[in-house]
Amino acid sequence: MTEDRRSEVAGRLRGRGAPANPVGRFEAWRREAVDDGWGGLEQLAGDPPPRTEVYTDRARSVISRNDSPDVPFEQSINPYRGCEHGCVYCYARPTHNYLGLSSGLDFETRIFAKPDAAERLREGLARPGYRCRPIALGTNTDAYQPVERRLGITRRILECLAACRHPLGIVTKSALVLRDLDILAPMAAEGLASVMVSITTLDPRLARRLEPRAAAPHRRFEILRELAAAGVPCGVMVAPVIPGLTDHEMERILERAAAAGATAAAYVLLRLPHDLAELFDGWLTAHYPDRRLRVLALLRQCRGGRLDDPAFGRRMCGRGPYAELLARRFRVACRRWGLESRSLPGRCDLFRPPPRSPQLDLFG
């Protein structure tokens, strides 16, 4: 079997985004699929897709803090590690390597849930030195991925934040966020909640390949419409912008989002850290071989000759003529459709910390 055929077989696992399951970058051993002449790789293509497994992640704290100058938040919570949506471009995929797992299929089939996240959050908010700043939900992996429907971890986090009148912002591509309108709408009325809906493309066929288990593109505009109707400030995150594949859709996405009720917008250029570059290259080979070289060449133009540039100030939007053109197009479209090119704010002056438990008082 040729190398191209192996890539094609690996890239067509039904319902999954990653074309392979490479060994993590911290592992001492490497595995490679080899055609033994008995048709093993062909049989692999006909096997059922790997099932999702959920593991318990007992975290001592759940609030992550950062001082990055190119993200609009200081605090975030990720109820899950790994994501069932299976978006092949997800920059969080390489974080699974820290668990001794692959950034490929493992990332979307081996999910680590934090069932006690709300309790750890309550403890964190009750600490005397806690300083209220908006908390972002879903910055690494989607807080409303399919497993949330069964586990309800994100909803319990929202209940905790609502009780404390703590501001939050959500980024999601899932219609499951509408389940929690009974919490989000009252919070939004006090300036405490906002939602950004991530939209990558308007093409349903492309979306099915890029992000196989996320909501369809038309459904995401409906999410914006329902959020706006409920009084929840909402915006659109055009992310990622993939040069040569989705970049031509930027203006139409912003136009439709504004018509659906979005009042803010942001975008992120495709990021391919670590072995995600190899995964995405394999995906292009399997699904869009005729566009592969152009996509990678344009991305290198925006990344200083590489496929990824982690430097602050450049990692989100790139640099060079092509990246500058994207930025200008975005600014012009935002002005045209009345979208603020920034994230939605949240009030911090209403925060009321939860009472400390007797156990904490005894040993605090």
pLDDT of residue 364: 45
CB proximity list for 359: less than 8 A, separation 6 or greater: none
**pLDDT per residue rounded down to tens, the chain (364 residues):** 344 434 444 445 666 767 667 766 656 555 555 455 555 545 555 556 678 999 999 888 999 998 777 777 889 999 999 999 999 999 999 999 989 999 999 999 999 999 999 999 999 999 999 999 999 998 889 999 999 999 999 999 999 999 999 999 999 999 999 999 999 999 999 999 999 999 999 999 999 999 999 999 999 999 999 999 999 999 999 999 999 999 999 999 999 999 999 999 999 999 999 999 999 999 999 999 999 999 999 999 999 999 999 888 888 999 999 999 999 999 999 999 999 877 667 899 999 999 876 554 444 4
DSSP for 288-339, written as a single string: -TTTHHHHHHHHHHHTTTSS----TTTTTT--SHHHHHHHHHHHHHHHHHT-
pLDDT on residue 363 = 47
Check residue 1 and give its pLDDT: 36
Instruction: List, in order, residues 6 or more apart from 10 with CB less than 8 Å away.
Output: 19, 20, 33, 44, 282, 286
What pTM value is reported for the model? Answer: 0.87
Ordered structural domains, the chain, with CATH: 3-44+51-346 (3.20.20.70)
Residue 355: half-sphere exposure toward Cβ, Cα within 13 Å: 3
